[in-house]
């Protein structure tokens, strides 16, 4: 399960009804309020392609204005009824019976009925949007899909059917919206980092730099964006009638968020965590235990996130009847990448709405760190069709571009299968996953979500890497300039944003997804900074 490799057409790994890359119909969606998830049916599809069957279509969450309201004049049909401001949508036609016999057609009417040769020319199809993925087989272009043992197919089918069902259930989205507002504390603010911006301007050759804004996911309950996803999946768990959840965690934030959701709903909870991550994330281990979760240390392999995910997958294969696996990132087999992205897309919807209100427009760039890629997918998704906005994903450059010294899957990897889906993976010539390294436990992973791979190949998102030293510098910089201690994961994005700001004029704006707070990293960062100081003497 942990091996990565390019799937062969006839291999058992690529078997099953959903393992092929079949294009599905594209879709659009109604809009949803910026400060809450989609309401009603947030994933309403458009008219299907006539060459494709109209079943099992994948749909996308709405951008940012209210969800569907099927009251008078607001229904999905274009039939009779009052339109906007009381105007009839049918142009005032009255459908009541009219017994008056029509008179002969006028010459003008006859002329108007003559066909125009241009009408015979087929209209050019509109190009699909980058946001119109995945397809009916869970594919993001050639990436994604489902590469798992048959024992997991029934659980994945149940999860996909349940998610498709709740996507048109307003009660589900109302419940999630209420939790995000009253329990999580959404919406999170968009904060102008004035002193960090001043630092960037002091380093710029021109004395100018773009203004840096922070999307404060660190202020969400539990201290990171992970809670957006775990509450949504906990509601799905309850809908499926399961009583136990399991999760994997690296930095511990997804583990804490899963334990929090389990405590809130009364589920049993087991969290798998690599022994190395247990060492460097002691605070979050304590928090998970206080919340009632059992933390299972994984001693195999590199004892980090990849190995924790392997063990969680093995557990789920033997417990699917009563257990739901809350995957923490936009990775894994279909439908997990879509579900996690949709639950995290609240970040981007809020950010876009806040930018329009505070900046009177969209930012020049949005920057986020990328490990598996959930916070980046969440904030990028609502901007991905806005091609005038740069999207920059920042991976873990670790100790530099040496084998085993980084975790930059998109920058240095190749397509392969890891944990149930096809994506970019750090692997050797035999398709085995390579060793990886990062100072941040949450980015210490040899793969990435399939949608990020799709965006990379499409050229829509630029992916770069930041070293451990650069991330540590940004960690201390934000703390000293803004009074905010960021997670080491987020520090990678901050380092890139400060450099980018110096290349842009001061009337431009950059938004950084501040994905989590750094309380969990204070001890490890202090240890690494001390080691670096001793080496420089």
Query: Mapped to the 3 state alphabet, what secondary structure does 239-274 carry?
Result: HHCCCEEEEEECCCHHHHHHHHHHHHHCCEEEEEEE
Q: Where are the beta strands (DSSP E) in 275-389?
A: 294-298, 323-325, 365-369
* Contacts for 265 with CB less than 8 Å, ≥ 6 apart: 234, 237, 238
**Selected catalytic residue, list 248, 395, 496, 524:** 248
- Measured distance CA(346)–CA(342) in Å, rounded: 8
Alpha-carbon distances of 310 from 302, 316, 465, 469, 529, rounded to whole Å: 12, 10, 26, 30, 32
Characterize the bridge pairing of strands 294-298 and 323-325. unpaired
* Contacts for 135 with CB less than 8 Å, ≥ 6 apart: 22, 23, 24, 25, 58
Is residue 86 within 8 A of residue 72, CB to CB? The reply is no
Spatial CA neighbour of 322 closest among 273, 267, 257: 267
Backbone Cα Rg of the chain: 25
Is 226 among the catalytic positions? Answer: yes
- Measured distance CA(317)–CA(315) in Å, rounded: 6
**Selected catalytic residue, list 242, 515, 520, 524:** 515
Q: What are the φ/ψ torsions at residue 398 (nearest 5 degrees)?
A: 55, -130
How many CA atoms does the CB half-sphere of 258 hold within 13 Å? 31
- Measured distance CA(336)–CA(30) in Å, rounded: 22
**Selected catalytic residue, list 215, 226, 352, 520:** 226
Spatial CA neighbour of 452 closest among 329, 325, 355: 329
Known catalytic residues? 226, 248, 515
């Amino acid at each position: 399960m942990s091996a990565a490799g390019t799937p062969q057409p006839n291999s058992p790994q690529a078997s099953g009804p959903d393992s092929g890359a079949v294009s599905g119909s594209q879709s659009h969606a109604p809009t949803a309020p910026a400060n809450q998830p989609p309401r009603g049916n947030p994933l309403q599809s458009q008219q299907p392609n006539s060459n494709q069957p109209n079943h099992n279509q994948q749909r996308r969450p709405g951008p940012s204005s209210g969800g569907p309201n099927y009251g008078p004049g607001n229904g999905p049909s274009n039939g009779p009824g009052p339109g906007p401001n009381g105007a009839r949508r049918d142009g005032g036609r009255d459908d009541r019976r009219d017994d008056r016999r029509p008179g002969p057609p006028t010459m003008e009417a006859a002329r108007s009925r003559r066909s125009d040769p241009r009408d015979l020319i087929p209209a050019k199809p509109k190009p699909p949007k980058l946001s119109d993925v995945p397809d009916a087989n869970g594919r993001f272009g050639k990436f994604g899909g489902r590469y798992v043992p048959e024992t997991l197919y029934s659980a994945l089918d149940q999860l996909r059917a349940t998610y498709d069902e709740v996507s048109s259930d307003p009660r589900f989205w109302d419940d999630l919206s209420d939790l995000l507002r009253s329990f999580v504390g959404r919406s999170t603010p968009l904060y102008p980092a004035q002193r960090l911006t001043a630092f960037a301007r002091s380093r710029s050759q021109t004395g100018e730099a773009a203004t840096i804004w922070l999307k404060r996911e660190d202020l969400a309950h539990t201290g990171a964006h992970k809670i957006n996803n775990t509450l949504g999946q906990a509601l799905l768990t309850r809908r499926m009638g399961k009583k136990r959840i399991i999760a994997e965690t690296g930095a511990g934030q997804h583990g804490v968020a899963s334990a929090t959701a389990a405590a809130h709903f009364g589920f049993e909870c087991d969290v798998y965590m690599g022994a190395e991550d247990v060492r460097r994330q002691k605070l979050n281990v304590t928090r998970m235990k206080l919340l009632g979760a059992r933390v299972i240390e994984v001693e195999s392999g590199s004892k980090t996130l990849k190995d924790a995910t392997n063990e969680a997958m093995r557990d789920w294969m033997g417990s699917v009847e009563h257990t739901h696996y809350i995957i923490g990132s936009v990775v894994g087999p279909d439908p997990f990448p879509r579900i996690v992205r949709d639950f995290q897309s609240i970040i981007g919807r809020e950010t876009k709405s806040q930018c329009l209100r505070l900046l009177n427009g969209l930012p020049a760039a949005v920057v986020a760190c990328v490990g598996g890629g959930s916070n980046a997918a969440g904030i990028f998704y609502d901007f991905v069709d806005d091609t005038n906005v740069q999207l920059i994903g920042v991976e873990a450059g670790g100790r530099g571009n040496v084998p085993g010294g980084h975790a930059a899957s998109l920058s240095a990897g190749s397509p392969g299968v890891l944990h149930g889906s096809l994506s970019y993976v750090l692997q050797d010539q035999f398709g085995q996953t390579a060793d990886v390294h990062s100072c941040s436990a949450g980015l210490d992973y040899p793969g990435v979500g399939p949608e990020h791979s799709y965006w990379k190949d499409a050229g829509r998102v630029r992916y770069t890497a930041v070293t451990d030293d650069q991330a540590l510098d940004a960690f201390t910089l934000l703390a000293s300039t803004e009074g905010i201690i960021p997670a080491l994961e987020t520090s990678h994005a901050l380092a890139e944003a400060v450099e980018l700001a110096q290349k842009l004029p001061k009337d431009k704006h950059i938004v950084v997804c501040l994905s989590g707070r750094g309380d969990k990293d204070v001890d490890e960062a202090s240890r690494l900074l001390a080691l670096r100081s001793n080496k420089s003497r």
